[in-house]
Amino acid sequence: MDSHSTTRNPVKAIDSDEYDELVAYLDGELDEASCERLEAQLLEDEALQKKLNELSKVWDMLDSLPKVPAAEDFTKSTMEMAVVSTKRQITGTSGKRLLSLRILLLCAAVLSGFFVSRWMQQDNDRMLVEDFEVIDNLDLYRVGGSVEFLEELDVQGLFTGGQNRE
């Protein structure tokens, strides 16, 4: 390459707000105050000037394209797409509400499960207290070997503190 070859200076990236503002400026859509502010910024910022020049060239190229008439059903198909898009947005909003409702129901189910399990645990504890005498004498029951033998011991008052059942 020779020393006279041109190299492109990279233009710094601009954010989407700046880009939108440049496009609005080229379309003549900015109000007077925004226009004056942007023009003052363009005097200071060379990178922004280059970006505006690039966009301006693109606009000029668009003007040189042949004009193609719109199809007869263009308006109809555009409106149908807008309706579909609007339905999707509405469904998306109600989908968020549905998700919130599902989360709420899940929380309610978890809390209900917790309280039911606590209630059942308390019921089990109550049964242990009621059967304490049996649990306390479990070793004796194991030694007894049969239900008849244990019933005989019960008749003799072994389990009731020496009081005979007869």
Q: Is the pLDDT of residue 144 over 70?
A: no
More confident residue, 111 or 161: 111
Q: What is the residue extent of each domain of the chain?
A: 13-66, 81-115, 131-166
For 23, half-sphere exposure in the C-beta direction (CA atoms, 13 angstrom radius) is: 8
The two most distant CA atoms of the chain are separated, in Å, by: 126
pLDDT tens column, 26-65 = 888 889 999 899 899 889 888 888 888 988 888 788 777 7
Using pLDDT thresholds of 50, 70 and 90, give the confidence band for residue 9: very low
Read off the pLDDT of residues 74-130 as tens digits, 9 standing for 90 and up. Answer: 777 888 888 887 777 766 655 667 777 788 888 888 888 888 777 777 777 777 777
Instruction: Answer left, alpha or beta for residue 100, where phi above 0 means left and psi between -120 and 50 means alpha.
Output: alpha
User: 11: buried, middle or exposed (CB in 10 Å: 19+, 13-18, 0-12)?
Assistant: middle
